[in-house]
Each structure stands twice: as C-alpha cells, then as structure tokens.
Amino acid sequence: MIKTLSSHGNSAALIIDKPILELLEITINTPLKIITDGKSIIISPVKEPDREERFQSALEKVNSDHGETLRKLGE
C-alpha cells in the first residue's frame, strides 16, 4: 500500500485506513509507539498487558459502590 501525507496545520498526517486499524485493534485512543532506524518509520500500538484487567476492576468497583445511584439516574 502506498500512502501520501496530508497537511494538518504546520504538521503532516498519515491517514490509516479503517481495515488496518481494525486488524491491529487500534482506536483513536490507542497510544502509538513511533520509532525509526533512520531509513524507515515503524508505528506500533502500545498494548498494556494489564490495562483491560485494571479497567474491569475499576468498573466493578464503581458499580459496586454506586450501582444503585447509576441505575436511578438511568431511569
């Protein structure tokens, strides 16, 4: 695949097609690591191994502490 850069203010942006984002499980909020060897650019999603586990734990705590209030607000 050949891509060109797009102007974005005083910078340049690379548009990544949705199928590639989906394949790599990248969303707009996924942190990306950008490295170079001086000849190539390598862009990789940063995957925190325990991020999902921490999120689920925090969600369970919020639901446990405030579940009833959140249900009432949803009505």
Q: Domains in the chain, ordered, with CATH?
A: 6-74 (2.10.260)
When pLDDT is averaged across residues 7-28 and rounded to a whole number, the result is 94
Q: What is the pLDDT of residues 5-15, one digit of tens each?
A: 999 999 999 99
Contact (CB, 8 A) for 43 and 34? yes
Which sign, positive or negative, has the C-alpha torsion 2, 29, 71, 61?
A: positive
Residue 36 pairs in a beta bridge with 41
Angle made by CA atoms 14, 15, 17, in degrees to the nearest 5? 140
Which letter does DSSP use for residue 16 in this model?
Answer: P
pTM over 0.85: no
* pLDDT, greater one: 53 or 42: 42
